[in-house]
Structure 1
Amino acid sequence: HHPLFQVALFFQNMDKPTLALPGLSAEAVEFDGAVAKFDLQLTVVPRAEDGWSAQFTYASDLFDEPTIAGFARRLVRLLSAITAEPDRVVGDIDLLTPGERERVLLSWNDTDHPVPAELLLDGYRRAVAAHPHAAAISYEGVELTYGQFDERVNRLARLLISQGVGAESLVGLAVRRSLDLV
């Protein structure tokens, strides 16, 4: 990341330099090899012949092309709304399409998820039954098979039950990093 900021907006309204020497003609050449100097950069250039041009450059490890294209569509939507209604408050302009709004408000925030058909314990029990001699845990050169690990799990469960621990009981543990921690 850039140490001061991650997003930059540049407005390039400077005239192109001209060079006139006797017997020599020179002109500026556009270089299309855009390199992202910031996480996200928008460069706007007014052009006398065809209006404005805008170019996004971005860090490709943070953004992908569809995301940047979405930013560009929202910018066009904003500018179109401003030019259509110059007195409108900018904060009242809706940048999202109806589909985007539905995805953000409903799909991403949907809390009505089906209850999983199986518990984590069910998968664990199936793995123990299917692979009792396969390595389940390895720590500092010591391994436990699924069968050995299951024996330890059951021994600890019986100890906790004998102490009155049941479902929804809180239990504090102080175990050093080891096979026993798992």
Structure 2
Amino acid sequence: MVDARICVDWMNTVSCQCFPGRTVLRSDPSHCGRQSTNCSAMEFECTSGDCIPFHFTCDGMAECPDFSDELPTYCMFRKCLPGFFQCQNSRCVLQNASCDGQNDCGDFSDEANCTCSTSQFRCTSGHCISNSFRCDTDPDCPDASDEMGCPQPNCTLSRAVNASAQKLQNCRNTTACIHPARICI
């Protein structure tokens, strides 16, 4: 494969250089080849040659020093490796992370169409979350159904940043507290 850059310097001598990362100059100085990898089958090889866990790719945070794990040209078309679950947003999470009550994909697709266990709460949307997340004043279901029908906290104890501001009020259907100016009539 000819992916070397051929340069002619001012002395009229030819020097070849491969593109950085996965290619190395072969014995024929006008050709480059793939560098041998030390990454395992469950790892992603960064263009820089570093190895990172495969499930860290395309997660919105660059773990490769060269950001190659977040390149749109890679993330838009990649398929998950065996042992991984393909999220609707194209992320790959470990297979055993699906249907565990945690939103590992970031779009809840790993929790859709699951059979909830007795230690899980089924959201109105059909997702399963851990029972410990029910009525904890933090919506974990995409539709906030885990915070509906729960005992309401005393929102008057919560103060806004400005001490002279009005106290917060309970929302009608969830455990959330809201500033009175944000209530729709």
Asked if these proteins are the same fold (TM beyond 0.5), I'd say no
Larger Rg: 1
Structure showing greater relative contact order (alpha-carbon pairs closer than 8 Å, 6 or more residues apart): 1
Higher share of residues assigned helix = 1
TM-score normalised by the chain length of structure 2: 0.31
TM-score normalised by the chain length of structure 1: 0.31
